[in-house]
Amino acid sequence: MTTKNIAKQRDFDDWLELAMNDPDAFEIARTEAIQSFISSTPAHTRHRLTGLQWRIDMMRNQSRTPMSACQAIYSMMWDKLAGDNGMLESLKKITNEGFYSLKPLHNADILPFQPRLEEDSTPS
């Protein structure tokens, strides 16, 4: 069984044990799990995910401690969610511009239609 297959079957405790007992094997399995996930996504999102993972890896490498890396990544996540041009701002723009408005876009004439009787039925 390859590390890639093992990585898919690990739970939190398995990852923790691997990180504590064999940090080098943990990094290999972590990298393979991330690459496996990125490879499983649609082609049009892979480049962006690879870039995001690169930024995360650089933050981890430049941080003095794992906790400072975690805080930097957490801050980046919140910035992308709630910061300038973040996801929340983008969603507000979409709803404010009426893309999801409940108002009809234009009026329409409603035509009355009389139900047709089927050929083999007779009016009562």
Within-domain flag for 81: yes
- Residue 62, token pair as written in the block: 């430049």
Decide: 33 and 20 in contact? Cβ < 8 Å. Answer: no
* pLDDT value at residue 116: 80
* pLDDT value at residue 112: 85
Residue 28 CA to its chain's centroid (Å): 24
Within-domain flag for 83: yes
Within-domain flag for 110: no
* pLDDT value at residue 58: 96
Condensed to tens digits (0 to 9), the pLDDT of residues 9-57 reads 799 999 999 999 999 999 999 999 999 999 999 999 999 999 999 999 9
Higher-confidence position of 101 and 51 = 51
**Residue 18, exposed/middle/buried by CB under 10 A (0-12, 13-18, 19+)?**
buried
Condensed to tens digits (0 to 9), the pLDDT of residues 62-90 reads 999 999 999 999 999 999 998 888 888 88
Task: Please check whether residues 68 and 50 belong to one and the same domain.
Answer: yes
Q: Which domain holds residue 67?
A: 46-90
Rounded-to-integer distance, Cα 29 and Cα 7, Å = 6
* pLDDT value at residue 101: 54
Is pLDDT of 111 > 90?
A: no
